[in-house]
Amino acid sequence: MMPIQLKAEATVTLGSLAKGTEDHIKALVDMGVVPVLIAGLGSDEVKLIEACLRCLRTIFEFSCAPVGLICQDENLPLRLLSLIPHSVSNQVCVATILAAGCKTAENQNLLCRQEAVPALAALLCSPHYKVQMPSLRCLANMCFQNQKVSAIVATSSFGGKSVPDLLVGLMARDKPSEMQMGAARCITYMHRAGAVSAEDPKILYRTLPCLVRLCKKDRPCEERVTAAETLAYLTEVDTELQRLASISNHLVPTLAELLHYQPEPSHTQAVQLTPSQTAQRLEQEVKTAQDMKQAAFRAFASLGANDEDIRKKIIETDNLMDHIVSGLQDPSQRVRLAAVRCLHSLSRSVQQLRTTFQDHSVWRPLMQLLQGASDDILTVASSTLCNLLLEFSPSKEPILESGAVDLLCGLTRRQDPALRLNGIWALMNMAFQAEQKIKSQILHALGTDQIFRLLSDPEVGVLMKTLGLLRNLLSTKPHIDHIMGLHGNQIMQ
C-alpha cells in the first residue's frame, strides 16, 4: 500500500500539472484523476486532504471539469462543508468546488438541505478576499432561478446581519469591483427568483446603480460585459426598473460604447510574438468584441421591452440600427441571437416600424437570418417578423416578395409550439386587409389539411391565431366567394 506521504506528494504534483492549460485539465480528467482525488478527501491525513482539495479546486475552475461528480454522492458536499473550519485554504477550495457543482435545481436544493447557506454566509464575512469571492459565486449559483433557495438565502443571517445586508455591504464603492459585481449578481438572482422585490431599496439604490457604474468605460472589458448582462437580467421583466435604469448615469450611451470596442495598443510591442501567439491574441480580441456586442444588445433588449420613450432613446443613440443590422450577420451565433432579441424588443414600437425599421431595411437581414437558423434564433426572429408584418408596417410588402409565405407555412409544421405559434401569427398578420392574391397564396401554401390540423392543435394560442387567420382570409364577401369556390368542399367537411 502506498504511504500517505507519497500519496500527498503525488497529489501535489497533479495539482501543479492542473495549473497548465485546458488541454492539461482535459488529460487529467480523461485519466480519471477526479474520482481518485475525491476518494482522497476521506483520508485522515491533513496534508493529503489539502492537496486533494487544491487540485480539485483548480480542475473545477475549468468548463471541461466533470461537475456532475460533486453532488453525485450526497456525502461529498457534507464532507466538503465539514472541512471549511480547518483552514483558509480549505475555505477557498470548498467554496470554489461547490460553486461549480450547484448549477442545477436538484444540486442547489441538495446543498441548501445540507446547510451550505449558513456556511457561505459566514465565509462572506471572512477577512480574506480570496475566500469571499468563491463564496459569492457559490451563493449566486445556488440562487439562480431557484425560488426556494433564494427565499432561504434572503432570510438567512450571520453575525446579526441578514445575507442581503451583507451583500449590500460588499457592493460598497471601496470594495474591489469584482466583489461589487459578485454581490450585485447575488441580489439580482434573488430578485428574479422572487425573494427580493423590485421596490426594495437594495435593488433600487444599491444593486442597479452598482451595475450601471460597472458598465463604465474605465472598467475592464470582462467586467463591463458581466455588468451589462446582469443588468439585462435584472431589468428584463420589470417596467419600472427598465425606466429607472434608462435614466441612470448615462447608461444608454455607456452601453452603446460596448459596440465600439477596440483592443488597447499592446504595451509589449517591442516583444516579437510567434505566429501562434499572434493568432491567440487576435482570437481573444475577436471574442472580447463579440462578448461586448452580445452584452450591449441584451441590455438594450431588456431596457426597451415595454416603454416607447426608452425605445426611442435607444434607437436615436449612436447609429444603433446600423449595429443591429451588422449584428444580425455576425459570424457568432451568440451575437446574432442577442441582436435579433434587441430588434424584437424595438419592433414593438409602432413609430419605429414606420420609420427607422424601414429606413434601414431591417427585414432583409432578418429574412436571411431565418434561413436555416437554429431554433432559438428562429423563435425570436419569427416573433420579430410578426411585428414587421402588421398592417401599418412598410416592411410588409418587401417581406412578402422575398418568400415569407412559404417560410411561415413551414414554421406551422414544426414540432416546437413556439415556432408553430409564430408562423400562424405572422400569417394572420399578413392576411389582415390583404389583397385576394395574397390570401390565395397563403391558402395554397398552407393547405386546408394543415389549417384543420392547426385547429386541433393542443396549444390554445396556435388554435386562436388559426381562427384569426381564417377570419382575416374570409373578411370580405368577394374573398369568401373566391376561397369557398376553390376550397369549399374541404372547408364544409
Mark whether 477 and 421 lie in a shared domain: yes
pLDDT in tens, 307-316: 999 999 999 8
Mark whether 398 and 409 lie in a shared domain: no
Q: Is residue 28 part of a domain?
A: no
SS (H, E, C) 30-95: HCCHHHHHHHHCCCCCHHHHHHHHHHHHHHCCCCCCCHHHCCCCCHHHHHHHHCHHHCHHHHHHHH
CB atoms within 10 A of CB 174: 5
Mean pLDDT of the chain, nearest integer: 90
Q: What is the dihedral of CA 5, 9, 10, 11, to 10 degrees?
A: 100
Q: Is residue 106 part of a domain?
A: no
Q: Structural domain of residue 294, as residue ranges?
A: 288-402
Residues contacting 410, CB < 8 A, separation 6+: 423
Q: Is residue 91 part of a domain?
A: no
Least Cα distance to 18 among 34, 1, 42, 36 occurs for 34
Query: Which region among 188-202, 271-285, 419-433 has the lowest average model confidence (pLDDT)?
Result: 271-285
Least Cα distance to 409 among 400, 393, 420 occurs for 420
| Grid cell locating 135 | 463564496
Mark whether 360 and 425 lie in a shared domain: no
Q: Which of 344, 375, 402 is the last residue of a domain?
A: 402
Mark whether 311 and 396 lie in a shared domain: yes
Residues contacting 433, CB < 8 A, separation 6+: 391, 472, 475
Q: What is the CATH number of the domain that holds 310?
A: 1.25.10.10
Residues contacting 454, CB < 8 A, separation 6+: 412, 420, 424, 462, 463, 466
Q: Which of 355, 382, 402 is the last residue of a domain?
A: 402
CB atoms within 10 A of CB 331: 8
SS3 234: helix
The Cα 335–Cα 358 span in angstroms is 22
More confident residue, 202 or 485: 202
Q: Which of 402, 431, 462 is the last residue of a domain?
A: 402
Q: Is residue 360 part of a domain?
A: yes
Q: What is the pLDDT of residue 349?
A: 84
Mark whether 357 and 423 lie in a shared domain: no
Element at 377 (helix H, strand E):
helix 375-388
Mark whether 430 and 345 lie in a shared domain: no
Q: Is residue 300 part of a domain?
A: yes
Residues contacting 474, CB < 8 A, separation 6+: 480, 483
pLDDT in tens, 188-200: 999 999 999 999 9
pLDDT in tens, 46-77: 888 988 899 899 999 988 889 898 988 889 99
The Cα 455–Cα 253 span in angstroms is 47
- Are 127 and 90 in contact by the 8 Å Cβ rule? The answer is no
Q: Is residue 171 part of a domain?
A: no
- Are 96 and 88 in contact by the 8 Å Cβ rule? The answer is no
The Cα 252–Cα 15 span in angstroms is 45
Q: Is residue 458 part of a domain?
A: yes
Domain total of the chain = 2
Mean pLDDT of 455-484: 83
Mark whether 296 and 391 lie in a shared domain: yes
Mean pLDDT of 96-104: 94
Residue 22 has pLDDT above 90, yes or no: no
Element at 212 (helix H, strand E):
helix 208-214
